[in-house]
Amino acid sequence: MFQPLVGMDLTDLAAALSPSQPGYRARQIYQALYQGQAGDLVAISTLPLGLRQELAERHALGLPTVDRVFESTDGTRRYLLRLADGRTVEAVLMPEEHRDTICISSQVGCPVDCKFCMTALMGLERSLTAGEIVGQVLLVARQNQLRQEGGRLNIVIMGQGEPLLNLPNVVKATRILLDPAGFALSPRRITVSTAGIIPQIAELGREPVRPRLAISLNASTEEQRQELMPITRKYHMKDLLAACKAYPLRPWEKLTFEYVLLNGVNDSDADARRVLKLLAHLNAKVNLIALNPGPGIPYATPLPERVASFQAIVRRGLPCFVRKPRGLDIYAACGQLKSHSQSATGPASPPSPEHS
């Protein structure tokens, strides 16, 4: 089995090289992998050809391959990416006027059983390695000529999986993405989203290099949250909010709370008032998203007026934004593309893949 280079930090690379290599080689490879977004090991022209060949005998570059791409009329591109063991994960590029956001996965499937989420229906297959997490960013950036400089590029770890149940690999990947000698993104430009794994929130807060933190709240009472997000039976909302209060924010940072609006379930004005009350004492902002519906999801999307009313109430006390649903025509909800490609009995077919 060829050992992948993507995902290695400087220490790993130095250890992978033979002792006869000069000390600066590890740094050269590191730069080529992450700053240079290398697409082919043998094409890394800063290295002597002999070394490239030697590396290629033992290592693969380790980028995922593109299994399928779907392009939405709104410009969103969904990638179904194939990993070395044949499993697939999703990454999504959402281009906007002033920024590009790549949404990446942290696990194949997910063990957290949220009732409105398509990925939950798959269960957990396995966690991703640091290389597979970074590899999604490198692949999508390369395919779309996105550069890390210039402050346009944002990464959100909000695809398949629960990132805080794969924290060591998420942290290692984040370090590489944020390292000025690595992918060199600003720490403001990576966000990790959690369903609320409380011990790991504290652990993340102790990391010197870490992404911004978003919490998927999705309910306004303990009971409602237990119903929608069974993980709350283990990690109570009250304790989650206490962990948020104790979370060490950097001077420029706010916590983000995400809230999926489900028609007639958690989207009333009373819910909005409760959300405001729950979060008012935190340095936070709220992102609302109307449900992206999908097969097997027993909820409906609220009307825009309902979303607007909810937002207006939360806005009385906190910054509150409505996230535009993206790529509805290409099955944009979490996990939809993969679920659809695995089942023969989905509803309408998504549009034909751009590449196959």
Q: Which residues bind ligand SAH (CB under 6 A)?
A: 112, 116-117, 158, 162, 193-195, 216, 218, 258, 260, 289, 291-292, 294, 297, 333-334
Nearer of residues 114 and 178 to ligand SAH, judged by Cβ:
114
354 labelled catalytic: no
Nearest distance from C-beta of residue 38 to ligand SAH, angstroms: 29
Helix, strand, coil percentages in the chain from 3-state DSSP, rounded to 5: 35, 20, 45
Q: Nearest Cα to 243, choosing from 188, 204, 207, 274?
A: 204
Nearest distance from C-beta of residue 320 to ligand SAH, angstroms: 15
91 alpha-carbon distance from chain centroid: 8
149 labelled catalytic: no
Nearer of residues 13 and 334 to ligand SAH, judged by Cβ:
334
Within the chain, what is the greatest distance between any pair of CA atoms? Answer: 68
CB-CB neighbours of 256 under 10 Å: 20
Which strands sit side by side in the sheet containing 284-290, from one edge to the other?
65-71, 77-82, 88-95, 100-103, 153-157, 190-194, 212-216, 255-261, 284-290, 320-322
Nearest distance from C-beta of residue 180 to ligand SAH, angstroms: 27
Nearer of residues 33 and 93 to ligand SAH, judged by Cβ:
93
Nearer of residues 100 and 258 to ligand SAH, judged by Cβ:
258
Which of 71, 90, 132, 162 is catalytic? The answer is 90
CB-CB neighbours of 5 under 10 Å: 25
Distances (CA, A) of 237 to 217, 229, 230, 232, 240: 8, 10, 11, 6, 5
Yes or no: say if 193 and 216 are a contact pair by the CB < 8 Å rule: yes
Instruction: Report how far residue 26's alpha carbon sits from residue 4's, in angstroms, rounded to the nearest whole number.
Output: 14
Instruction: Report how far residue 73's alpha carbon sits from residue 47's, in angstroms, rounded to the nearest whole number.
Output: 42
Nearer of residues 67 and 258 to ligand SAH, judged by Cβ:
258
Which of 103, 117, 244, 334 is catalytic? The answer is 334
- Annotated catalytic sites, by residue? 90, 334
